[in-house]
Amino acid sequence: MKLVLIGYMASGKSAIGKLLANKLNYQFIDLDDYIVSKENCSISELFKNKGEIYFRLKETEYLQVLLESKDNIVLSTGGGTPCYGNNMNIINKLSESIYLKSSVKTIYNRLLSEKDSRPLVASIKNDDLIEFIGKHLFERAPFYEQATSIIKTDKMNLDEVVDSILHR
Ligand code: S3P
């Protein structure tokens, strides 16, 4: 079985993915980390040196390669992965997808301290961040909502989210 975690930046995909994989005895793969290792370059540098379109093409390529070649994995994706190309169809055809749904406020509080490592929000002023997230999430939600399962994570800790996924 292949489980793919999707959701906005800072929605806990990697932390939850690691715990979930551990409980299931599955391999955990983080798509961003995989891209970094294959391209030998950080995500920020990739955006800066080769541009976002190059990143999106590689993201689709590696997503497909991983889902076609691996089994018994938990794959955590980037916040934009489901929203480009045919990615959401690829994900739903080849795996079970889980949308970790967080509110704008929760994402804002988490992203404030982690924004520098994320090229899409690094240059946004803290005062403008909540509005940016609100609009961006509104655009992306129709893709995220195509997931097989949706879990509202705002009031849960990491273990509770993992248990809720296992329960399903
Ligand atoms: C992105 C999210 C990032 C990373 C890249 C683009 C996005 O992943 O893939 O910076 O478009 O939302 P995280 O969701 O792990 O931050």
Per residue in 93-127, pLDDT (tens digit) is 999 999 999 999 999 999 998 999 899 999 999 99
Q: How many CB atoms lie within 10 A of CB 132?
A: 16
Residue-wise pLDDT for 121-165, tens only, equals 999 999 999 999 999 999 999 999 999 999 999 999 999 999 999
pLDDT of residue 127: 95
CB of 75 closer than 6 A to ligand 1? no
Using the mean position of ligand 1's atoms as its centre, give its distance from the Cα of residue 122 in Å: 11
The answer to whether residues 74 and 100 touch, using CB atoms and an 8 Å cutoff, is no
Supply the pLDDT for residue 78: 98
What gap in Å lies between CA 83 and CA 80, rounded to an integer? 5
In the reported structure, the alpha carbon of residue 80 is separated from the centroid of ligand 1 by a whole-number distance in angstroms of 6
Residue 97 CA to residue 148 CA, distance in Å, equals: 5
Specify the residue with its C-alpha closest to ligand 1, atom 16. Answer: 9
Q: Mind listing the pLDDT tens digit for each residue in 6-24?
A: 999 999 999 999 999 999 9
Looking at residue 158, its amino acid is: L
pLDDT computed for residue 99 by the predictor = 98
| CB-ligand 1 contact for 30 (6 Å cutoff) | no
